[in-house]
């Protein structure tokens, strides 16, 4: 659900940009979105544009439809992406088979439009 606290994130995604909060008080780059900085508890933050580049640090492959909405995607991966700037993001890596995804795979953000939302996903980075 879009609310005042996350609207800037989703607006950026709709514009094809990956932005996360940077604490104005201590400079900590934070994700997931939060109302206060986990480092210094400041409520002040600005939305910083990230490169969208990262690497896979962990992943799993789903081969069973735990939710019917995902059945036609099987098998699909769920991966933790280490973003170049520091935060980690839980997402999917599109365009790679279960045999191709691996730890340290270099990826870049892409955006999948689903039910009106532009959702950040990742794909293999060009080499
Ligand atoms: Zn802070």
d(CA 121, CA 127): 18
Q: Output the CA 98–ligand 1 centroid distance in Å.
A: 38
* Segment 4-22, tens digit of pLDDT: 999 999 999 999 999 999 9
d(CA 68, CA 106): 30
pLDDT at 2 over 90: no
CATH 2.40.50.840 location in the chain: 51-127
d(CA 122, CA 114): 15
The string of DSSP codes covering 45-84 is EEEEEP--EEEEEEEEEE-S-SSGGGGGG-SEEEEEEEET
Instruction: Look at the pTM and tell me if it is higher than 0.85.
Output: yes
Does domain 51-127 bear CATH number 2.40.50.840?
yes
Q: Output the CA 103–ligand 1 centroid distance in Å.
A: 30
* pLDDT confidence bin for 1, thresholds 50/70/90: confident
d(CA 110, CA 125): 10
Q: Output the CA 38–ligand 1 centroid distance in Å.
A: 7
d(CA 83, CA 93): 13
* Whether 96 contacts 77, CB under 8 Å: yes
Residue among 104, 58, 54 at smallest CA distance from 77: 58
Q: Output the CA 97–ligand 1 centroid distance in Å.
A: 39
* Segment 51-95, tens digit of pLDDT: 999 999 999 999 999 999 999 999 999 999 999 999 999 999 999
Q: Output the CA 12–ligand 1 centroid distance in Å.
A: 22
Cross-strand partners of 21 = 30, 47
């Amino acid at each position: 659900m879009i609310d005042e606290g996350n609207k800037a994130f989703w607006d950026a995604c709709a514009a094809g940009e990956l932005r996360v909060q940077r604490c104005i008080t201590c400079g900590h780059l934070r994700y997931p979105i939060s109302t206060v900085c986990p480092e210094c508890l400041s409520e002040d933050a600005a939305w910083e544009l990230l490169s969208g580049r990262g690497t896979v640090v962990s992943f799993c492959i789903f081969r069973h439809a735990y939710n019917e909405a995902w059945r036609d995607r099987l098998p699909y991966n769920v991966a933790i992406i280490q973003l170049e700037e520091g935060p980690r993001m839980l997402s999917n890596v599109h365009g790679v088979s279960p045999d191709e995804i691996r730890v340290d795979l270099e990826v870049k953000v892409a955006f999948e439009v689903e039910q009106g939302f532009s959702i950040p996903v990742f794909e293999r980075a060009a080499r």
